[in-house]
Amino acid sequence: MPKAEKIEINTKWCKGCEICVELCPTDALQMKDFKAAVKDLDKCIACMQCELRCPDFAIKVYKA
């Protein structure tokens, strides 16, 4: 199964809509201080849903 090497979240662009957290099928993301944050990188399967659905282009997933 594919994995992510890194998930980069631009907190200046993130407006805290929680779309990425809700769409993550493996619970790899969380909300922290009203912004998206990586909860567990090892859980990420690099499905790219967070990056594709972010309305603010605040998330970038780097595949391993």
Domain regions of the chain by residue span: 4-63
The pLDDT, as a whole number, for residue 64 is 85
| CA–CA gap between residue 17 and residue 10 (Å, rounded) | 14
The structure's pTM equals 0.91
Give 1-24 pLDDT, tens digit per residue: 789 999 999 999 999 999 999 999
Q: What is the CA radius of gyration of the chain?
A: 10
CATH of the domain spanning 4-63, picked from 1.20.140.10, 3.30.70.20, 3.40.50.80, 3.40.710.10: 3.30.70.20
| pLDDT tens per residue across span 23-61 | 999 999 999 999 999 999 999 999 999 999 999 999 999
